[in-house]
Amino acid sequence: MTEFVPADTLRARFSAAMSAMYREEVPLYADLLAIVADVNARSEADLASSDAARMAQERHGAIRVGTGAELAQMRRLFAVMGMEPVGYYDLGAAGLPVHSTAFRPVTAAALAANPFRVFCSLLRLDLIDEADLRDTAAKALASRRICSERLLDLMAMAEERGGLGEEDAAAFLAEALEVFRWHAEAQVAGADYARLHARHPLIADIVSFKGPHINHLTPRTVDIDAAQAEMIARGIDAKDRIEGPPRRKCPILLRQTSFKALSETIRFADGTGGAHTARFGEIEQRGAALTPGGRELYDRCLAEAMAAGGDYEAALVAAFAPFPDDWDAMREAGLAWFRDTPNGFEPLVWEDFLPVSAAGIFRSNLGDEAGEADASGGSQAEFEQALGAPVADMFALYAAQADQPVAA
Ligand code: OOG
Ligand code: NI
C-alpha cells in the first residue's frame, strides 16, 4: 500500500515552490524577503513561541479567476493541500468587479504546521453591461484551460483515494505550480486588451492571459512600521499608507503595505506589443483575531478615520481611542479570542483578510484609473454556487479554537 504525503507537507512544499518561482519572476520580492528577515530577526524576542516557529515560512498569495468553473477547480486544487474556502469578501461594495474567498488551513494543528493561504477573486462578468465587450471577455475565458489534463487527473485521484503517494504528489505540485506562472504572451489582441483595460484594469488582468498568474506573495513581519521604513529607505516605491488598524501595543487583525505594481512587457495574440501592470509585493503584520463584537468596533473606528479627512495617520489613531489597547481589557470586553497557555493566555492570530484593506491593496496596484463605477454588491449565494461548496464561517473557526466562550 502506498503511503500518502500529508496535506500539511504538500502545502509547505507548494508554498516554498511558489516563493522560489515568484523570486525568479519578480526580483523585488527577494528584497522584501530580505527586509522581513532582517526586521524579524531584530524583534524575535517579542514573539510568542508558537508564532516564531511558523513565522519564517509564513506567506499568502493572491490570484484572480475568470469563471465559476475555474473557481471550482481552484477549490479542488487547494483541497488536496488541506486548504478550504473561508469567508466571503464582497469587493463589489468597494467598486471592484470581483468577489472573493481565502483558501487556507482551518485547524490549529494545520495552521501551526504551515499557514499558507491564497486570496482568490472571481470576476463578475455581469457587471460589464456593454454586450459586445462582455462577449469578447466571455469568449476569451471559455477558450482557455487553466489546469492541465494531467493536473485534473491527479486532483481526481487524490479525491478518490484520499491522498497522493510521493511520485504523484511531486507531479501534482509541479503541475499546480504551472497554473500560477506568469506568461508574457496575452491570449487576446492588442485592441481587445485596450477595450477591456479601459472598462477596468482588473478585467484586463483576469481575461487577457492564459491563466491566473500569482499577482503577489506576502511574507509576514513582526513590525510592519520598521519594514515600511526600510522599504522607503531602499528607494522601493511603497504604498503611502499602511492598511488596517493603527500601530498598537497589542496588535489586532492585519496591517499591510505593498510596493506598487511593476509595468511588464507583454505580447498580444495579434503580434503587437504592450505593457501590463499587475504584479506587486506586499508585507503584512498579523495580530489578534477579533470576535464579531470586536470586529464591529474595529469597523466603526476605521469608518470614522476614513471619513475624518486631514492627516490620515492622526485620524486613525484618534478614531481608535475607544478600542482598548490592553489584553486583559480586550478579553474582559469579549473583543478578541484567546487560548490558555502555561503562562496565562494568548490571543489567537487573525488568519483571514479584511475587505477594506483588500480593496485598498487592489486599488493601489491597479492605478488611479481603477474607478468606483461598479459599486454594486455581490451575492454570497452566487459565489458559493460557482465554488461548488459553502465558504466556512471564520468566526465559528476561531470559536472552536478559543478557550474562553465569548459573549455575543
Ligand atoms: C488581492 C488583494 C487582497 C490582501 O492581502 O488583502 C489581498 C488581489 O490583489 O488580487 O491580497
Ligand atoms: Ni495580499
Spell out the domains of the chain, with CATH numbers in brackets: 7-242+366-388 (3.10.180.80)
| CB neighbourhood size of 321 (10 A) | 11
**Which of the ligands is closest to the CA of residue 355?**
1
Ligand 1 mutation target, pool 88, 282, 351, 361, most atoms within 8 A of CB: 361
Q: Is the CB of 358 under 6 A from ligand 1?
A: yes
Q: Is the CB of 114 under 6 A from ligand 1?
A: no
Whether the CB-CB separation of 391 and 352 falls below 8 Å is answered with no
Q: Which three cell numbers stand for residue 269?
A: 495574440
Task: Find cell 487577457 and name the residue.
Answer: 208
pLDDT of residue 158: 98
Ligand 1 mutation target, pool 26, 202, 218, 362, most atoms within 8 A of CB: 362
Q: Take atom 9 of ligand 1 and give the residue whose Cα is closest.
A: 362
Phi/psi of residue 273, nearest 5 degrees: -115, 165
Q: Is the CB of 173 under 6 A from ligand 1?
A: no
Centre of ligand 2 to C-alpha 16, Å, is 17
pLDDT of residue 361: 86
pLDDT of residue 408: 46
Each residue's pLDDT expressed in tens, for the chain with a length of 408 residues? 679 999 999 999 999 999 999 999 999 999 999 999 999 888 765 656 556 667 878 899 999 999 999 999 999 999 999 999 999 999 998 889 999 999 999 999 999 999 999 999 999 999 998 999 999 999 999 999 999 999 999 999 999 999 999 999 999 999 999 999 999 999 999 999 999 999 999 999 999 999 999 999 999 999 999 999 999 999 998 888 899 999 999 999 999 999 888 899 999 999 999 999 989 999 999 999 999 999 999 999 999 999 998 899 999 999 999 999 999 999 999 999 999 988 889 999 999 999 989 988 888 877 655 555 556 788 999 999 999 999 999 999 999 999 865 554
Picking from 284, 285, 267, the residue whose alpha carbon sits closest to that of residue 276 is 267
| Beta-sheet strands, E only, within 68-187 | 84-90, 98-104, 117-123
Centre of ligand 2 to C-alpha 256, Å, is 8
Beta carbons within 8 Å of 236's beta carbon, 6+ residues apart:
28, 31, 259
The rounded mean pLDDT for the chain is: 92
> C-alpha 280: how far from its chain's center?
12
pLDDT of residue 199: 93
Predicted TM-score (pTM) of the model is 0.95
Q: Take atom 4 of ligand 1 and give the residue whose Cα is closest.
A: 358
